[in-house]
């Protein structure tokens, strides 16, 4: 049986092929799963997808009519999948519930330090042999306040790094993490966290109740010189409201590894095309904003764990087993 994997990055392909070798044949495609590409999957019982795949009702219906019975998503997030429709069509859906939290937390810190110390601007200047320091002044993190929205595994690792910098820690979540509290974190209401934090980082899943968690009122509650980092899901931030605040000259820096309308853009080369997304086009023009292309998870360690979990999900499906990764069980 051949498995069809959509949206496979060049660095990811050898890891996937090696992991499946001797178990199942797998064909890796660099195209993403959309309504236009879904017919390619005809005849494949198992399809593997990436986080930016379109798994809405029309795509799922096309997959099901072509014989697909299992979706093995290579990510933790699954907000792109219509689970109710998948269940109605008799399709099994599994995701990767866990992979290295260090990958995302460390990258969030890379964004924070890059915007704080103006690393991109400095690098651009020195390439032109401009070695002035004007406009490059940053701030010590030591002694300042880090606000962590979402204190699960990734948020905890971020907090540990912040603790190493000697920062005061504020947290917000539906449940308190004892490990974070041992670091000295104080859990406070979201409004207090936003008002008191010098650095704010988002590590919560995207759900209806967290969509635009950082909306216009939340942005206005933040300090004018705050740093905002999002390496979780783009929909957590109201980007139009963020642009409005940036135009007013607010925030020391904003680091975004995700964007709420990234589907159809991120992971693709659009350098020779006009970008029709006016909000994104405006966002990347601000000198205090750094946008990367959803790469926080992209380490050998994390991708290796994602691939291994995907293999296990496929083997469990074939054997009729169920694990914590299953979102819609085999009917």
- The tens place of each residue's pLDDT in the chain, 331 residues long, gives 799 999 999 999 999 999 999 889 999 999 999 999 999 999 999 999 998 899 999 999 999 999 999 999 999 889 899 999 999 999 999 999 989 999 999 999 999 999 999 999 999 999 999 999 999 999 999 999 999 999 999 999 999 999 999 999 999 999 999 999 999 999 999 999 999 999 999 999 999 999 999 999 999 999 999 999 999 999 999 999 999 999 999 999 999 999 999 988 888 888 888 888 999 999 999 999 999 999 999 999 999 999 999 999 999 999 999 999 999 998 7
Q: Considering the candidates 12, 156, 260, 262, report the single residue annotated as catalytic.
A: 262
- Alpha carbon distance 258, 262 (integer Å): 7
The verdict on whether 24 is a catalytic residue reads no
pLDDT at 305: 96
The verdict on whether 196 is a catalytic residue reads no
pTM above 0.85, yes or no: yes
pLDDT at 149: 98
CA 164 to chain centre: 24
pLDDT at 235: 95
Long-range contact list for 58-67, CB < 8 A, 24+ apart?
59/33, 59/34, 59/35, 60/85, 60/86, 60/89, 60/91, 61/85, 61/89, 62/35, 62/38, 63/38, 63/91, 64/89, 64/90, 64/91, 66/38, 66/39, 66/41, 66/42, 67/42, 67/43
Strands 46-49 and 25-28, sheet pairing: unpaired
The verdict on whether 262 is a catalytic residue reads yes
Q: Considering the candidates 44, 74, 233, 250, report the single residue annotated as catalytic.
A: 233
């Amino acid at each position: 049986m051949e498995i069809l994997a959509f949206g496979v990055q060049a660095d990811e392909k050898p890891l996937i092929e090696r992991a499946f070798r001797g178990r199942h044949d797998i064909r890796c495609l660099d195209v993403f799963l959309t309504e236009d590409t879904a017919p390619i999957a005809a005849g494949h019982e198992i399809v593997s997808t990436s986080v930016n795949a379109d798994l809405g009702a029309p795509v799922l219906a096309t997959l099901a009519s072509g014989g697909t019975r299992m979706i093995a998503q290579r990510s933790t997030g699954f907000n792109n999948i219509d689970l109710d429709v998948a269940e109605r069509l008799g399709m099994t859906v599994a995701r990767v519930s866990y992979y290295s939290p260090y990958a995302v937390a460390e990258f969030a810190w890379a964004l924070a330090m890059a915007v704080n110390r103006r690393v991109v601007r400095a690098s651009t200047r020195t390439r032109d042999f401009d070695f002035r320091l004007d406009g490059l002044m940053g701030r010590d993190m030591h002694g300042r306040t880090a606000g962590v929205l979402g204190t699960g595994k990734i948020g905890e690792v971020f907090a540990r790094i912040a603790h190493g910098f000697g920062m005061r820690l504020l947290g917000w979540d539906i449940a308190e993490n004892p490990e974070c509290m041992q670091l000295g974190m104080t859990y406070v209401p979201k409004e207090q966290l936003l008002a008191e934090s010098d650095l704010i980082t988002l590590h919560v899943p995207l759900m209806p109740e967290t969509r635009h968690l950082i909306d216009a009122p939340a942005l206005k509650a933040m300090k004018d010189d705050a740093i905002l980092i999002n390496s979780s899901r783009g929909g957590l931030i109201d980007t139009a409201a963020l642009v409005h605040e940036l135009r007013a000259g607010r925030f020391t820096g904003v680091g975004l590894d995700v964007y709420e309308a990234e589907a159809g853009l991120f992971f693709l080369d659009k350098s020779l095309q006009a970008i029709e997304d006016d909000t994104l086009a405006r966002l990347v023009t601000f000198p205090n904003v750094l946008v990367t292309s959803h790469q926080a998870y992209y380490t050998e360690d994390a991708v290796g764990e994602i691939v291994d979990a995907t293999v296990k999900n496929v083997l469990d499906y074939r054997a009729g087993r169920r694990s914590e990764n299953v979102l819609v069980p085999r009917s």
